[in-house]
Chains A and B, each alone.
Chain A
Amino acid sequence: MKGILFAFLAGAFITLQGVANARISQDIGAWQAATITQLTGFIMALLIVLFVKDQKWKQFKQVRPIYLTGGSFAAVVIYGNIYGIHSIGVTLTIAVILISQLTITFMIDGKGWFGVLKKEMKLPQFIGIAMMIAGVVILKF
């Protein structure tokens, strides 16, 4: 039950984050919103690292450098999210992001890129993506 509550709240927070960014961008601009929210998030995470005396950042050098760069994508992600929410609404933006995200994950899994264990693409995954796209069509048209 606790796990379900955590997962539920995670989803709520992700949506809230997008909406808050969209709102902030109305006041100060989209790049400004992305910069500020991530600066404050970074400071908070850094404080937590210091507080729990987490020494694991020393392991960063064991990770292939390209994987360390993932965080930088967020600039474009947040900008795209804000732009989407303003032009097509929250529901459609989130739905399209989900489909696109699951599809790329699924393709990477299928190819076994980036050190992911290669998995076979199965029928249920294709049906799932088809259903999600059908849902977006229903949503919009």
Chain B
Amino acid sequence: MLAGLFSAVIAGLLVGLQNIFNTRVNDHAGTWSTTALVLGLGFLASMLLGLVFEGTQLFVLEHIKTWHWFSGLIGVGVVVCLVQGTKLLGPTFAISIVLTSQLGFALLWDSLGWFGLEKIPFTTQQLVGVLVIIGGVIVFKFGGSQKTDKVKKVHNQMKHAAGR
């Protein structure tokens, strides 16, 4: 369990850092060029690390199913929805909804155990935990400060939208 928590912490740190880096690229190169670069590099890095840890075993794809090849399209859906949501609502409001929805669906997924993942029965305690986290997200995001930069970011995004 500790290893699981630790890997989630590392993943979160890297996501935060990556978002900041990607925003810098996005400021110049726009959504789609940035997305292509980000996914292309992610692909190369995954392949390299896969080769390091598993050798040519990486290319043994015996049990691959057709739908696996299409799962990458979800990422494109993420980008479209994030960009549109942020443009229409502004980052603070948009991100709060994104995080809330993310947690809500995670809870739903655990309780239903779809896709043959291990089922974690739904309890009131879990619901309370998720609601407290969402409360924390709202306090964090709407709790004053950091207004100027956000206004600037929205402004930039609008500029991109207009320039396209």
Contact = CB atoms under 8 A, between A and B. Distances in A.
A79 B94 CA distance: 27
Contacts, number: 459
Interface of A: 2-4, 6-17, 19-24, 26-29, 31-46, 48-49, 52, 54, 56-57, 59-60, 62-64, 66-81, 83-106, 108-109, 114-117, 119-125, 127-140
Interface of B: 1, 3-5, 7-22, 24-25, 27-30, 32-33, 35-50, 53-54, 57-58, 61-65, 68-82, 84-89, 93-95, 97-107, 109-110, 114-118, 120, 125-126, 128-146, 148-149, 152, 164
A14 B102 contact: yes
Contact of A104 (B5, B12, B48, B118): B12
A64 B20 CA distance: 13
B13 A40 contact: no
A60 B28 contact: yes
A27 to B, nearest CB: 4
B86 to A, nearest CB: 8
B107 A91 contact: yes
